[in-house]
Amino acid sequence: MLTLLKLLKDGRFHSGEALGAALGVSRSAVWKQLQHLEAELDLTIHKVRGRGYQLASPLVLLSADEIALKSPVCAGSVFISDTIDSTNAEALRLIDAGQAAPFLVLSEQQTAGRGRRGRKWVSPFAQNVYYSLVLRIDGGLRQLEGLSLVVGLAVMQTLRDLGVQGAGLKWPNDVLVGSKKIAGILLELVGDPADVCHVVLGIGINANMQSAAEVDQQWTSIQLETGCAVDRNHLVAHLSQTLQAYLERHRDSGFSVIREEWERSHLWQGKAVSLIAGVNQVGGVVLGIDGQGALRLEVNGVEKIYSGGELSLRLRDDS
């Protein structure tokens, strides 16, 4: 089925006879495959008598060669899937199988994409970027301090470079434009942080998505913000370059040198918020973050520090 999609990806008309000849199947078999493409991948295919079949808009699929050409840091191991449960899950499987880090996992589509706190990450085919970079950490607990916030800075800077000037950060792992989410980050750790471990830097970016009824929060995409479709191979390459630069700064100098830059980009700095942990809520005003990336809140006139993967931040109505 995906071989058929690759024949159609140029956005031109192709006759059923020509498609059947290329695939070695009958015209009726081509028709059935086209129906599956529309149903399973939510693609629109125009059918015009006498001309054939045409995708509603051309598709640029992910290419390891194209990405490596644009970004030498991606010239190593890049694994690209057409459809997968999630790139983080595949990254963890590759770690278990002994794949040497660093390596990058990408997919055109995720069937079980995950956000923080078990949330579903909506992952339509060939529209967005689903990206998991695996790094090996040798006895470097300091390298993990504030790491998700460093990744957020790299994602935000990449989006700004591509024209999304309003991109900013929300503690701990979201990138927003105003109140709308455009990217999210999910880090997963395997091994002993005090000895040798692997960290999966999972990043989801809404690139060319223009509609998604399943998303249960406000969202936007690069295309919606800029009015132009983005080449996802260029996006992956640029993100990889920017991420490498931030990771090198973090490795060499620690999170404290990046802390002020992160706070300048925090959209909720100085805002009244509710911090949610399960059924419990704490109200306060955001003061910033500490040297390890934990949230600093003023609660009833007292500064308190909060950290942890299950925490969620919400703006208060009076903010």
**How does pLDDT run across 17-26, given as a tens digit for each residue?**
888 898 888 8
Contacts of 109 (CB under 8 A, 6+ apart): 41, 82, 83, 84, 123, 124, 125, 126, 130
15 in a known ligand binding site: no
Among 170, 181, 232, 259, which one carries the catalytic annotation? 181
Place of tokens 């059918």: 47
- Where are the chain's structural domains? 2-55, 64-264, 272-315
114 in a known ligand binding site: yes
- Nearest CA to 65 out of 265, 227, 233 is that of 233
Q: What is the pLDDT of residue 303?
A: 96
Q: What is the pTM of this model?
A: 0.90
Q: What is the pLDDT of residue 319?
A: 45
Burial of residue 74 (number of CB atoms within 10 Å: 0-12, 13-18, 19+): buried
Among 6, 47, 264, 314, which one carries the catalytic annotation? 314
Q: Within a 10 A sphere around the Cβ of 116, how many other Cβ atoms?
A: 19
Q: What is the pLDDT of residue 214?
A: 65
Homologous superfamily of the 64-264 domain (CATH): Bira Bifunctional Protein; Domain 2 (3.30.930.10)
Paired strand residues for 274: 283, 314
116 in a known ligand binding site: yes
Question: Does domain 272-315 sit in CATH 2.30.30.100?
Answer: yes
Among 116, 170, 232, 259, which one carries the catalytic annotation? 116
136 in a known ligand binding site: no
Instruction: Select 2-55's CATH number: 3.30.450.40, 3.40.50.300, 1.20.1250.20, 1.10.10.10.
Output: 1.10.10.10
Paired strand residues for 103: 77, 134
115 in a known ligand binding site: yes
What is the distance between the alpha carbons of residues 216 and 233, in angstroms, rounded to a whole number? 28
Structure tokens at 245: 């630069």
Dihedral sign computed on CA atoms, order 293, 311, 206, 124: positive
87 in a known ligand binding site: yes
110 in a known ligand binding site: yes
Structure tokens at 250: 């973090």
Q: What is the pLDDT of residue 217?
A: 75
Catalytic (active site) residue 181: yes
What is the distance between the alpha carbons of residues 210 and 23, in angstroms, rounded to a whole number? 31
C-alpha Rg value of the chain to the nearest Å: 22
Q: Which residues of the chain have pLDDT under 50?
A: 318-319
What is the distance between the alpha carbons of residues 83 and 111, in angstroms, rounded to a whole number? 7
Question: Using an 8 Å Cβ cutoff, are 149 and 290 in contact?
Answer: no
Residue-wise pLDDT for 173-211, tens only, equals 999 999 999 999 999 999 888 788 999 999 999 999 987
Structure tokens at 159: 């989006």
Between helix 147-161 and helix 232-253 the angle, nearest 10°, is 140
